[in-house]
């Protein structure tokens, strides 16, 4: 991290000063510059780092076009979607392809979730017991896609050193669930780039403290003025040759979205 280094006058420059108290004037200016320097890497807490990375990906609101490819040893399938989100509380996902699933909507409002299925004209409430189940046959869960839990508010965070991951220099962070937090993992290890504040890799550990799955974040590029990873590859460790790849095709941050947009009524008509 590069900091502005204040220029301290000396020698001939000092004698040319028109200030009646040049040394005092220079000292005060230098102190003001130091006070206004950005926070150093050493003073950033693990929570500062994870919050900054999370906010960079989330924004206050966002809307995006995404595609998901589910890969299996003997087949693969792709799904396209449009998404809208507002903070931690509101999410809406509209499936736009393939034709069999087109028009399905997944809605989250606070801790309540629903699935609108247009071919049977039915709105189905998703109970908490189904949050960890597969979403659309992928390796992602309902919780992953609709963000019921938060890596910022539901975990305690601790630094565990600096490590290289691929071509990135990353902080390694250890996340431990807070008591009563609605999470399925006993711990999470996250690697966040020290200059871009983007997540590069995450390991998720299950109840028996075994590594359950790994998420790789790649294809870092500028999207709506932010450098973010645009590909997420989820690999479960208990299933050979299984993986799910999610690609962000476009995204806009801080768009105008009213809470009423995330309603069951709108979920029924957003695809029309």
Count of other CB atoms within 10 angstroms of residue 126 = 19
Q: Is residue 95 included in any domain, yes or no?
A: yes
Please state, in angstroms and rounded to a whole number, the distance separating the CA atoms of residues 177 and 157: 9
Domain of 104: which CATH number? 2.50.20.10
The DSSP result for 142-182, as a single string, is: HHHHHT-S-TTTSEEEEEEEEEEETTEEEEEEEEEEPTT--
Distance CA 205, CA 6 (A): 46
CB 66 within 8 A of CB 246: yes
Q: Do the domain assignments include residue 21?
A: no
pLDDT for 28-50, tens place per residue? 333 333 333 344 556 899 999 99
15 domain-assigned: no
**Alpha-carbon distance values, 248 to 3, 157, 193, 230, 252 (Å):** 33, 27, 19, 5, 11
- Is residue 27, in this structure, part of any structural domain at all? no
Split at pLDDT 50, 70, 90, the class of 254 is very high
Q: Please indicate, yes or no, if residue 7 is contained in any of the structural domains.
A: no
181 vs 188 pLDDT, higher one: 188
Backbone angles phi, psi at 63, to 5 degrees: -140, 140
pLDDT at 271 over 80: no
Q: Provide the domain count of the chain.
A: 1
Domain range for 58 is 46-269
- Residue 8 forms part of a structural domain: no
Residue 79 lies inside a defined structural domain of this protein? yes
In a domain, 41, yes or no: no
Confidence of residue 272 (pLDDT cuts 50, 70, 90): low
Read off the pLDDT of residues 205-223 as tens digits, 9 standing for 90 and up.
998 889 999 999 999 999 9
């Amino acid at each position: 991290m590069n900091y502005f280094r204040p220029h301290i006058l000396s020698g001939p420059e000092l004698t040319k000063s028109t200030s009646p108290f040049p040394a005092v004037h220079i000292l005060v200016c230098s102190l003001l510059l130091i006070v206004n320097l950005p926070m150093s890497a050493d003073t950033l807490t693990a929570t500062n780092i994870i919050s900054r990375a999370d906010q960079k990906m989330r924004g206050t609101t966002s809307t995006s076009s995404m595609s998901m490819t589910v890969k299996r040893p003997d087949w693969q399938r792709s799904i396209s979607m449009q998404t809208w989100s507002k903070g931690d509380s509101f999410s809406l996902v509209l499936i736009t392809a393939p034709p069999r699933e087109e028009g399905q909507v997944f809605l989250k409002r606070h801790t309540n979730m629903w699935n609108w299925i247009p071919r049977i004209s039915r709105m189905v409430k998703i109970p908490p017991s189904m949050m960890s189940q597969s979403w659309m046959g992928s390796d992602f869960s309902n919780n992953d896609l609709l963000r019921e839990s938060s890596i910022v508010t539901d975990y305690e965070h601790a630094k565990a050193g600096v490590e290289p991951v691929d071509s990135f220099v990353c902080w390694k962070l250890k996340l431990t669930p807070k008591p009563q937090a609605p999470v399925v993992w006993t711990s999470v290890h996250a690697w966040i780039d020290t200059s871009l504040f983007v997540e590069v890799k995450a390991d998720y550990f299950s109840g028996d403290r075994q590594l359950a799955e790994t998420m790789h974040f790649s294809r870092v590029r500028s999207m709506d003025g932010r450098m973010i990873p645009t590909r997420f590859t989820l690999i479960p460790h208990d299933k050979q040759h299984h993986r799910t790849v999610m690609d962000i095709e476009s995204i806009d941050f801080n768009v105008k979205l009213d809470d009423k947009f995330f309603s069951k009524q709108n979920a029924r008509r957003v695809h029309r």
